[in-house]
Structure 1
Amino acid sequence: MIRTTRDVVLDHLRRRMRGDLEGDLRENYHPAVRLLSAEGVHHGHDGVRHLAAILRTYVQDGDYQYRQVLVDGDVGMLVWSGRCSAGDIALHDGVDTYVVRDGLLVAQTIHYSSGAIVDHPDA
């Protein structure tokens, strides 16, 4: 039985929270997946690994907050944020979109902004 878009996206998110990149690739990503981000266009499992390594320079696996998951047909969208383990950088405005066909992610777009966290003293 072919998994739904929701099934694939939710499994992807669970595996990433646990830091299971290789399991995520094996179970959820088509070998020829296309990825578009501010880092450029990447392809395949090595492209996913490359972009995941860049993201890990900002925030470790599991340090995400998934704020909204939307699914319509073969398209899914995730709204998320994160905070680096040192606590001085925040990732905000995170939005990933997914296209799922035959139970696998075949395309993904990735966008997030980062910035320093500034504590505001009480006035």
Structure 2
Amino acid sequence: MDRTEKRSAREVLDDHLKESQTGSVEADLARNYAEDVVVLMRGEAHHGHEGVRGLARLLRQELPDASFEYGSCVVASEFGFLEWSGRGGQAYVKDGADSYVIREGKIVAQTIHYTVQRSSAS
């Protein structure tokens, strides 16, 4: 058993959130996501590391050069839930909500919900 398998769900989620802030998708995938992860978003299932990469690209397109704020983050056993907001380019998100299933030190399933809204011109 390697060190990542011994991490608690809280440790995995905290590391994932740190990597999300720095924009290091590859480091996040290597340390925190199972290779066969399933992510559910907008009525579709996205599979594996390539699926996560695609969703990260989508978020960067929707919120270029984004900054994120994390609200409530709850972990119970192998389950995690995060509320978040973000702003980038001419858009923002105020209703971000992600849920996680974390087993053996890796995220094995995730749901993602957010609504992109356009900032009004100043």
Deviation at 1:118, TM superposition (A): 3.2
| SS of aligned partner of 2:114 | strand
1:19-98 to structure 2, matched below 5 A, reads 19-38=23-42, 40-60=44-64, 63-84=67-88, 86=89, 88-98=90-100
Q: Which runs of 5+ in 2 are unaligned?
A: none
TM-score computed with the length of structure 2 as normaliser? 0.90
- Alignment TM-score, normalising by the size of structure 1: 0.89
The root-mean-square deviation of aligned C-alpha atoms, in Å, is 1.6
CA distance in 2, matches of 1:59, 1:119: 16
Unaligned runs of 5+ in 1: none
Q: 1:62: how far off?
A: 5.5
Bigger fraction of residues in helix? 2
1:97-112 alignment runs, 5 A limit: 97-112=99-114
Displacement of 1:68: 1.4
Q: Which protein has the larger Cα radius of gyration, Structure 1 or Structure 2?
A: 1
Equivalenced residue count is 118
Given candidates 94, 114, 117, the residue that maps to 1:115 is 117
Look up the equivalent residue of 1:68 and give its one-letter code: S
Moved over 6 A (4+): none
Closer, same or farther: CA 19–49 of 1 in aligned 2, 3 Å: same
Match of 1:18 among 9, 15, 22: 22
